[in-house]
Amino acid sequence: MKKILLILLIGLFITTLPAWSENTSEEIMVFSTVLFGNESDIPLNINSENNWIDLAGIDTATINSVEEPAGGVVRRWRVKSSYSDTPIAGQSTIQIKLRTVGAKTPLFTLPWSEGQSGWKENYSNWFQTDFEGHLPLLGEQSVSSVRLIAPPGSSSPGMIYKIELEAWDVKEIEAEENIQSIVQRASLNVIPEIKAVNPEASEKSKRLERRVPDVDQALSFALNFINNNLSGDLPSFYSSLNDTVYSLENGDGDSKFRVPPPQSNYSGLKLSDYTENYETKIYEYSEYIEMFPQWTDPERNWNPDRTSYLYHGSALKEGKKALFESELLVFLCKMIDGEWKLIAIPQ
């Protein structure tokens, strides 16, 4: 996925930034507004024992009046929040939802932390209203809500100080059909013919296909997937994706070629660099479904099943360095017809 230039916005006002020019970077923030944390707002106490807490109504008209992106430009939204939490056990995170009528509900999840108490300031995942992000973000009436998620049975307190909503425009580098063409060409150059005729490798694959999926296999697949991303192996990236990749947010499915490949150059990094700096965790169905019960909603177009595993690898270890800014480090995977596949992503 494309490297994001993080720009810290200071102030309690709504602002728009200049449009594209010839020498700009491929991403630019075009809008920002404070959803919570103005001078009149008192910091909000939250607890993982509680469900969603409504913050305030949203100035929908102003947000939806932001000029639409030009052709070949994708608009993505995210939130930046300053908050504090005191995780009692395991990982915790903050989610912000913009409850709206007549539009796709934006849901933002901040990075997970484990055992790191105190004040934090983080960016959420990205959200698009549609493939190009051209649809309005909100319906006519919208309310912002927040909740703290922690392991079931634990009581983790926290406090929300500020939440800002940002809109970024990203230039499309390749259309879907061009991506498919690149994958096909790269496959001819990268994958040797011996792979198809090596009987030893074939027999090994058959033995692997008969194995019962488990947590260790899921973790091995996830780390292999990330390792391929580090090496820039585009054919392996797309062969690891299921033909249809679903959204964990709403259950909508789309072609795997709609998933942008890593755009940053990680040639100087090794998998050991990643595992030394990031937590790597596999959650089984019974674990992640308690944290995200909305994934079982029968109204969704798709729901994960008990043979799917959630990989979470975006949480930094304490005192470690952030090597990635906006890469695919959280996803759902499962074994399909004897092969492990990535089947769902946060956005």
Q: Mean pLDDT, the chain, as a whole number?
A: 78
Lowest-confidence pick of 12-16, 131-135, 316-320:
12-16
The number of beta carbons lying within 10 Å of the beta carbon of residue 317 is: 15
Closest-CA residue to 182 (of 171, 195, 173): 173
Q: Are residues 289 and 250 both part of a single domain? A: yes
- 261-271 mean pLDDT: 77
Instruction: Look at residues 168, 153, 135, 190 and name the one whose alpha carbon lies nearest to residue 3.
Output: 168
Given 171, 206, 225, the domain boundary residue is 171
pLDDT at 152 over 60: yes
> Model confidence over 63-92: pLDDT tens digits?
999 998 888 888 999 999 999 887 666 667
The alpha carbon dihedral of 293, 297, 302, 307 has a sign of positive
Among residues 144, 171, 198, the one where a domain terminates is 171
All residues at 6 or more sequence positions from 178 whose CB lies less than 8 Å from its CB, including other chains? none
Q: If we measure between CA atoms, which residue out of 338, 342, 278, 276 comes closest to residue 312?
A: 278
Determine the Cα angle at 133 with ends 175 and 347, to 5°: 90
* CA dihedral sign, ordered 3, 344, 150, 300: positive
Q: Residue 74: which domain range? A: 15-171
Q: Is residue 6 in a domain?
A: no
Same domain, 147 and 198: no
Strand bridging mode 142-149 / 15-16: unpaired
Q: How far apart (Å, rounded) are the C-alpha atoms in residues 192 and 109?
A: 41
- Could you tell me the pTM of the whole model? 0.53
**pLDDT at residue 12 greater than cutoff 70:** no
Work out the average pLDDT over 230-249. 88
158, 183: one domain: no
Section 30-53 average pLDDT: 91
CA distance 160 to 148: 10
Q: Is the Cα dihedral 115, 117, 121, 125 positive or negative?
A: positive
- What DSSP element (H or E) covers 243? strand 241-247
Mean pLDDT calculated for residue range 156-166: 93
Backbone angles phi, psi at 221, to 5 degrees: -60, -45
Q: In sequence order, what are the residues at sequence separation of 6 or more whose Cβ sits closer than 8 angstroms to the Cβ of residue 11?
A: none
**Averaged pLDDT, 93-121:** 83
- Residue 2 inside a domain? The answer is no
Spatial CB neighbours of 138, under 8 Å, sequence gap ≥ 6: 58, 60, 63, 64, 98, 100, 103, 106
Q: Across the strands, what pairs with 149?
A: 93
pLDDT recorded at residue 16: 32
- Same domain membership, residue 271 and residue 211: yes
Mean pLDDT of 165-182: 64
Structure tokens given for 305: 């099943």
User: Are residue 154 and residue 236 in the same domain, yes or no?
Assistant: no
CATH number at residue 35: 2.60.120
